[in-house]
Chain A
Amino acid sequence: MIELPPEAWEALRLSLKVSIVATVLSLPVAIWVAHILARGRFRGRGLLDALVHLPLVLPPVVTGYALLLLFSRSGPLGAVLEPLGLGLAFRWTGAALAAAIMGFPLIVRAIRLAFEAVDPKLEEAAATLGASPWRVWRTVTLPLAAPGVLAGATLGFAKAFGEFGATITFVASIPGETRTLPSAIYAFLQVPDGGAGLRGLVAIAVVVAVGAVLVSNWLAPRIAARVAGR
């Protein structure tokens, strides 16, 4: 077992919690947005597409700053949420939100491609068999897009796990609350005797990232085979 200072373990636990919450909560929204981008024909589709991609192209620190403006005590959303005890700024929930937003475009892209690859002829056939549009979506479209959903979720999780810029800007780096693994690595870099903790955390980051890819690669062909009907 790697010798790690307790604050490193704390950072790992926090990072896993933040990235899992971020992925699980953003997935349904991402599936919905990906579907309307893939299949919807409406005014403002281009605008929505651009908006979804914004966190991918903006400097993360700008995204983090925008979140801070929105959710700080004096911000329009923060002013409502803080008195209810639901404030996000400088809390781990804020870190999850930042991670979710940064991973969102990646998840949407992967799932959208999968939706676009589903043959509309099969959906037509389902409709002639008496299935309502919702049932067609649930029983044909979504299952056939499952490999893309998995790919998107993996990407989103990896992105959330490694998110640094927007997170540290929005929720700072409070040990035990918002000091995620990348923030902890950064903090160890700032102190002269942080070498052991630093190396351990970097190793863990590599293991988690590689692990996510391996799990995804193991699952993908199984899902693809199911979907292809073999």
Chain B
Amino acid sequence: MLDVSVQHRVGAFTLDVDLQTASGVTAVFGPSGAGKTTLARCVAGLTRPDTGRIAVDGRVVFDGDTDLPPHRRDIGYVFQEARLFPHLSVRANLMYGARRDMDPTDVANMLGIADLLDRRPGGLSGGEGARVAIGRALLRQPKLLIMDEPLAALDARRRETILPWLERLRGAGVPILYISHAIEEVARLADTLVLLREGRVVRAGPLTEILSDPEAAALMGPSQAGAVLEGDVIEVADGLAAIRTPAGVLHVAGVTGGRVRIRIRAEDVIVATQEPQGLSALNTLPAVIEAVQAGQGPGVMLRLQAGDGVLLARLTRRSFDRLGLGVGQKVWAVLKTSGVARSDVGGGS
């Protein structure tokens, strides 16, 4: 889909990225200053890299001889700020990059902005503006849609209301390059994860694989770590949904049905050497320790194989030693119900 190899220097910072993406949603994840936006701008043609080659869908848009301007790259771009044209109505904003004979109604319905078409952007809330910006980029019918932290300018509540709309985009079929430093967003939306640090790709691969890899967790920061499980809701009772995941059946609040994706933070997994009795926690899964990653500081990251699923658990080194844990050992993983935060639950693919 996207084939990038670029080198670009800005002052002391060097971006040196080599990356191939497939269809679906590819998240570029990294701390601020990692070069995420610079990479996105190079792909879109807004920043000219020093050297390299960029091809979208097999078409070379940049190399030594070619440097297509942004408007000829067929790449949509959703910026952190909505960047709506203030002098045009919402409808005119949506249609700005669309073919004349297109109808914005379907996209407007999908994004819940059909009632806003005759309004001016000046009167929209942040969340509405973000959705219009996304619709505008979609109606341009790009070969690739870049979303550069489209939710970063919104508060947590607004972000929560927009994520479901973004999840719908996954089904719209446009390949997406999703730039973010928020792991919850990435875990909900991405199929492929690219970890970017100091201008370089440190890991790239399927999301679930990377998120359940203790080494990658160390790169992302242990407090961000957490494996992602996908599953189907099989029953809802007492406000709790039973979800069948590869790791076993989990009970989670705030889910109504369908196929969902759950991120379980490594910090929220407790490890017991015997089956716990008399615990208030709802979710207890038998597991085997597959790998142990001791990082700097007091923490130890465990990779647990539970059924066909993988979990990450973060313990203190002291607990790890006291329990005498080691690779191959059978344990019980206890998941606090609150360990599945509402914001980490989302419709899956």
Give the B-binding residues of A (Cβ under 8 A).
121-122, 124-133, 136, 139-140, 143-144, 226-230
Q: Are B122 and A129 in contact (CB under 8 A)?
A: no
Q: Are B86 and A228 in contact (CB under 8 A)?
A: yes
Q: Are A122 and B83 in contact (CB under 8 A)?
A: yes
Q: Are B83 and A125 in contact (CB under 8 A)?
A: yes
Binds A, one of B70-78, B221-229, B326-334: B70-78
Can you list 23 A-B pairs, Cβ within 8 angstroms, ordered by A? Answer: A121-B83, A122-B83, A124-B70, A124-B79, A125-B79, A126-B96, A128-B75, A128-B76, A129-B97, A129-B140, A130-B71, A130-B74, A130-B97, A131-B71, A131-B96, A131-B97, A139-B85, A139-B96, A140-B85, A227-B86, A228-B86, A229-B87, A230-B123
Residue in A124, A133, A227 with the greatest tally of chain B CB atoms within 10 Å:
A124
Cβ–Cβ < 8 Å partners of A226 in chain B: 87
B27 within 8 A of A: no
Cβ–Cβ < 8 Å partners of B140 in chain A: 128-130
A227→B122 CA distance, assembly (Å): 10
A136→B96 CA distance, assembly (Å): 10
**Restricting to B62-95, which residues have a CB under 8 Å from any CB of A?**
69-72, 74-77, 79, 81, 83-88
Q: Are B79 and A127 in contact (CB under 8 A)?
A: no
Picked from B46, B96, B123, the residue with its CB within 8 Å of the CB of A129 is B96
We find that the number of chain B residues with CB closer than 8 angstroms to chain A is 28
Cβ–Cβ < 8 Å partners of B122 in chain A: 228-230
Secondary structure class of chain B's binding surface, majority of residues: loop
Give the A-binding residues of B (Cβ under 8 A).
44-46, 69-72, 74-77, 79, 81, 83-88, 96-97, 120-123, 136-137, 140
A214 to chain B, nearest CB (A): 24
A87→B138 CA distance, assembly (Å): 57
Residue in B44, B69, B97 with the greatest tally of chain A CB atoms within 10 Å:
B97
For the complex of A and B, list the 6 residue pairs with the smallest distance between their C-beta atoms, beginning with the closest: A129-B97, A229-B86, A229-B122, A128-B77, A125-B83, A229-B120
Q: Are A128 and B46 in contact (CB under 8 A)?
A: yes
Cβ–Cβ < 8 Å partners of B87 in chain A: 143-144, 226-229
Residue in A128, A144, A228 with the greatest tally of chain B CB atoms within 10 Å:
A128
B154 to chain A, nearest CB (A): 18
Q: Are A128 and B85 in contact (CB under 8 A)?
A: no
A171 to chain B, nearest CB (A): 41
Cβ–Cβ < 8 Å partners of B136 in chain A: 129
A55→B25 CA distance, assembly (Å): 59
